Amino acid sequence: MDANRKTAYNTLIDVETKKSYSNIALNHQIICGKPDNASFVRELVYGVLENKMLLDYVIDSLVPSGVSKIKTSDLIILRMGIYQLAKMDSVPEYAAVNESVILAKKFARGRENFINGVLRSYIRDKYKIKLPDRNEDEIKYLSVKYSYEPWIIKLWLESYDTGFVEELLKAGNESPDITIRMNWLKVMKEDLVKNLEKNGYTVKEGRHSKNALHIKGKDLLSTQFYKNGMFSVQDEASQMVAQILDPRHGETIMDVCAAPGGKTLAIAERMNNKGIVLASDIYRRKLDIINRETERLGINIVETRTWDATKVDSSMLGKADRVVVDAPCSALGVIRRKPEIKYKKETAEIQALPGKQLAILSASASYVKPGGKLMYCTCTLTPYENERVISDFIRKIPSFIVEQTVQFLPNVDDTDGFYICLMKKTDDLFE
């Protein structure tokens, strides 16, 4: 059996049945499956995930009983097969079909003929399959074409015009560059660029963050440059948290929703490892990741602790120079890195997010010294989790004034979707 397709299948099963994050599941299965072409596996996995609803629409048109009646194992093999036939020019038609049948013999025993028949039907009838009529139902058309749950499209249409929303949908289906944050505690940017290029990597300067580099090449995290703590992987928009926060040497900084720690560590690096960064999170296991990273990066000013950010820690009242609230959110800004987010259902938990975000922001405000700074940020694009939360907060606690807001957009800025709001605490309401 082809190890590449087996690895892709196991990854997609993990994402579908265990609700695993695609990047984590894929990395795990590549280690376990030892495929000879990891790039092929990644292309197939992310291609299927990015186009899942479109693929299911196609399958539904080919199977009389409908896609809802198909077992998960069969469905994943069919998605993989049709994606190879439709999008992967490097794969001959016979290989896409034959390898799918071989997968079925292992993971969908007794369904080989069914899968073979559906794939051959697609080859024969693919030009007859049409998208939903845009004029009749634009949301359904966009939902199928770009594979997004309809509620996400409806939500974005409340804030942006149709053309802009379609650009957002397209951007979410594009594969981003690997973006790294240089660790200036250990290396100068010029030296890091030279070393990476000398080892065969293509390096491009970032557009927004001063410490950002865009990298093309394989096995970046296996290099000694990474192992020795010269850089971390982090999107430019996320890097901008530390840059806009502008922490100073010797200050006390709190990051109240810190895990997995990218922003915490970027802040500590920017402080030149002088001061205190108190990183808290509700899950201890996630804080352990931060502790491991501090060792790799050569950082010793980060203190981690388990804490529920919705509650006030009386021991820290008025003691922080700057506080960062990277609030739990719908994560609609990172779809291009985690395409499974597109298929989230609009649950009561998602609807309750603004209330939770406001509670965390309000509790965190009590830690800020007079004249200190409070930053609120999310990796989403929805105003009800961003601007509206800030408006509600300012009405509730008017001693804070907004100094700067930034909304990064994937289709405009070539970054993850990310919102940043920097506020200052003052006792003068007229300041």
Residue 431 resides in a domain = no
Quote the number of domains for the chain: 4
Is 160 in the same domain as 211?
no
Is 255 in the same domain as 211?
no
Alpha-carbon distance of 287 to 206, in angstroms, equals 28
Residue 293 resides in a domain = yes
What's residue 19's pLDDT? 87
Sign for the CA dihedral angle at 341, 345, 346, 351 comes to negative
Residue 123 resides in a domain = yes
Is 259 in the same domain as 396?
yes
Exactly one of 329, 377, 379, 421 is catalytic; name it. 379
Is 240 in the same domain as 222?
no
Sign for the CA dihedral angle at 363, 366, 368, 370 comes to positive
Residue 430 resides in a domain = no
CA geometry: angle 272, 275, 276, nearest 5 deg = 120
Per-residue pLDDT of the chain (431 residues; tens, 9 = 90+): 799 999 999 999 999 999 888 989 999 999 999 999 999 999 999 999 999 999 999 999 999 999 999 999 999 999 999 999 999 999 999 999 999 999 999 999 999 999 999 999 999 999 999 999 999 999 999 999 999 999 999 999 999 999 999 999 999 999 898 999 999 999 999 999 999 999 999 999 999 999 999 999 988 999 999 999 999 999 999 999 999 999 999 999 999 999 999 999 999 999 999 999 999 999 999 999 999 999 999 999 999 999 999 999 999 999 999 999 999 999 999 999 999 999 999 889 899 999 999 999 999 999 999 999 999 999 999 999 999 999 999 999 999 999 999 999 999 999 999 999 999 999 654 44
DSSP string, 221-257: GGSHHHHTTSEEE--HHHHHHHHHH---TT-EEEETT
Upper half-sphere CA count for residue 334 (Cβ side, 13 Å):
17
Is 42 in the same domain as 68?
yes
Is 387 in the same domain as 314?
yes
| Consecutive H or E run containing 365 | helix 353-365
Nearest Cα residue to 18 out of 100, 103, 96, 76: 76
Residue 3, helix vs strand vs coil: helix
**Residue 257 a catalytic site member:** no
Is 119 in the same domain as 185?
no
DSSP E strands in 224-367: the ranges are 231-233, 252-255, 276-281, 302-306, 320-326
Residue 133 resides in a domain = no
Task: Please state, in angstroms and as integers, the Cα–Cα distance from residue 40 to each residue in 173, 221, 344, following that order.
Answer: 17, 19, 26
Is 360 in the same domain as 272?
yes
Strands 302-306 and 276-281: parallel
Is 75 in the same domain as 205?
no
Q: Which residues contact 345 (CB under 8 A, 6 or more apart)?
A: 149, 151
Is 241 in the same domain as 199?
no
Domain of 143, in residue numbers: 138-172
Is 147 in the same domain as 261?
no
Is 58 in the same domain as 72?
yes
What's residue 428's pLDDT? 53
DSSP E strands in 170-299: the ranges are 178-182, 202-205, 212-216, 231-233, 252-255, 276-281
What's residue 430's pLDDT? 41
Residue 283, helix vs strand vs coil: coil
Sign for the CA dihedral angle at 312, 315, 317, 323 comes to negative
